[in-house]
């Protein structure tokens, strides 16, 4: 199966690397508006942080104001938004929404929650700082697409104190506490960075849904907003490649490669496309470089485990899945297949444990529902066996 790798901000956000600036003419030269029909909806983020009437009513309600008085401005805002007895927001990585969309849906991914929280905080006169957290990227799959995510959070302080003042009452808000982001270095992002990351996310989500035209317009908007955003160049190249514009895709991958010369994402995408475009020597050289830099890339042991599983070697598959889980403990797919292999070996308790972990580490509501159903079935079967 042919695969593409996208830099997608589902849980997290990537940071731009130090690289030469791109002129407006170079960006324009790599865009091909004529190849795509107009989008179903404009790729526009002008209302990204706008409060809806319902949000404005909520933030100025007596109950909300009482929470702020009781807990203080910053902690009160978080209490009012994220306490399970309040809005009852769910985490769902399947869609990146505006502040108003996230509020209305009562669910969102990490970037959506950052955007919504920032919108409320600014309405209350707080100072908001967006932060890129220097953690290892997380990999997940959606069909033929591998999705890569890194991490973003935000810091809030009441009534605009100086962030370089050690006495300022700033609080870092992180929606993935298991990462332990407080122990990592951070880089400040501006509002333009967040807008471009949102647009790149939307492009990637349209690609996952097979809507290449809309994906193009979102990727285009991300690059026009932030030409230095390397992940958006990779996304645009994937759009071109999946739309049949392989030579243009190659040019764009090369631009992404110039910006991130050691990126596994870009190198693997470019190497595969170079081979398809008949440039076998250059493709092989790039593959060798990948092998030197990344001898066991993400999904390496998992793919070996799937081959072993399909060959009926469940013991070998279980060992390989366990190796992948050990280095990527927050990937639900790895836990699920480790559980399935354990089940094939008759290890019911181990299988149940991995299904629980798959459910608890999943970032999608639909996946959590599937894992819960499989877990309930496994427990039902186990209970029936005990009765007999």
Residue 221 confidence (pLDDT):
96
Question: In 10 A of CB 87, how many CB atoms?
Answer: 15
Q: What is the pTM of this model?
A: 0.84
Domains of the chain, first to last: 4-209 (no CATH), 300-387 (1.25.40.10)
Nearest to 102 by CA among 43, 47, 172, 40: 47
The DSSP line for 94-139 is T----HHHHHHHTEE-HHHHHHHHHHHHHHTT-EEEEEEEEEEEEE
Asked if residues 173 and 88 have their Cβ atoms less than 8 Å apart, the reply is no
Residue 13 confidence (pLDDT):
35
Distance CA 127, CA 119 (A): 11
Burial of 264 (0-12, 13-18, 19+ CB in 10 A): middle
- 10-residue mean pLDDT series, the chain (388 residues): 41 38 79 95 94 95 92 89 74 88 90 94 94 77 76 83 54 69 76 95 92 96 93 94 95 93 91 95 96 92 96 97 93 94 94 94 85 88 63
Residue 363 confidence (pLDDT):
78
H-assigned helices in the chain: 24-29, 53-59, 62-71, 73-82, 99-105, 110-123, 191-208, 212-225, 230-242, 246-259, 264-276, 280-293, 300-310, 314-327, 332-344, 348-361, 365-387
Residue 362 confidence (pLDDT):
86
Asked if residues 382 and 353 have their Cβ atoms less than 8 Å apart, the reply is no
Could you give the percent of the chain with pLDDT greater than 90? 60
Distance CA 136, CA 141 (A): 17
Nearest to 236 by CA among 312, 155, 43, 245: 245
Distance CA 327, CA 334 (A): 10
């Amino acid at each position: 199966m042919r695969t593409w790798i996208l830099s997608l901000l589902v849980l997290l956000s990537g940071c731009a690397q130090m690289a030469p600036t791109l002129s407006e003419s170079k960006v324009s030269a790599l865009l091909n508006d004529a190849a795509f029909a107009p989008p179903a909806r404009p790729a526009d983020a002008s209302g990204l942080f706008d409060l809806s009437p319902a949000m404005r009513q909520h933030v100025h309600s007596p109950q909300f104001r009482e929470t702020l008085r009781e807990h203080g401005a910053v902690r009160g805002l978080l209490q009012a938004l994220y306490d399970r007895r309040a809005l009852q927001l769910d985490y769902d990585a399947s869609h990146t929404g505006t502040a108003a969309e996230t509020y209305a849906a009562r669910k969102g991914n990490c970037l959506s929650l950052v955007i919504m929280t920032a919108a409320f905080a600014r309405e209350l006169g707080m100072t908001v700082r967006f932060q890129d957290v220097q953690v290892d990227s997380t990999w997940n799959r959606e069909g033929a697409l591998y999705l890569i995510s890194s991490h973003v959070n935000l810091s809030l302080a009441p009534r605009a104190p100086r962030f370089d003042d050690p006495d300022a009452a700033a609080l870092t808000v992180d929606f993935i506490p298991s990462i332990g982001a407080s122990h990592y270095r951070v880089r400040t992002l501006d509002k333009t960075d967040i807008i471009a990351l949102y647009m790149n996310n939307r492009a990637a989500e349209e690609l996952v849904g097979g809507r290449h035209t809309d994906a193009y317009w979102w990727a285009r908007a991300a690059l026009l907003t932030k030409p230095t955003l390397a992940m958006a160049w990779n996304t645009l190249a994937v759009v071109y490649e999946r739309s049949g514009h392989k030579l243009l895709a190659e040019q764009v991958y090369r631009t992404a490669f110039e910006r991130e010369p050691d990126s596994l994402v870009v190198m693997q995408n470019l190497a595969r496309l170079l081979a398809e475009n008949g440039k076998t020597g250059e493709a092989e050289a790039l593959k060798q470089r990948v092998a030197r830099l990344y001898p066991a890339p993400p999904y390496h042991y998992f793919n070996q485990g799937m081959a072993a599983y399909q060959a009926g070697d469940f013991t070998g598959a279980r060992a390989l899945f366990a190796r992948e889980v050990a280095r990527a403990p927050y990937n639900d797919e790895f836990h699920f297949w480790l559980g399935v292999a354990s089940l094939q070996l008759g290890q019911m308790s181990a299988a149940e444990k991995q299904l629980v972990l798959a459910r608890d580490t999943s970032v999608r509501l639909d996946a959590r529902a599937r894992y819960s159903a499989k877990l309930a079935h496994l427990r039902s079967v186990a209970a029936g066996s005990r009765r007999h």
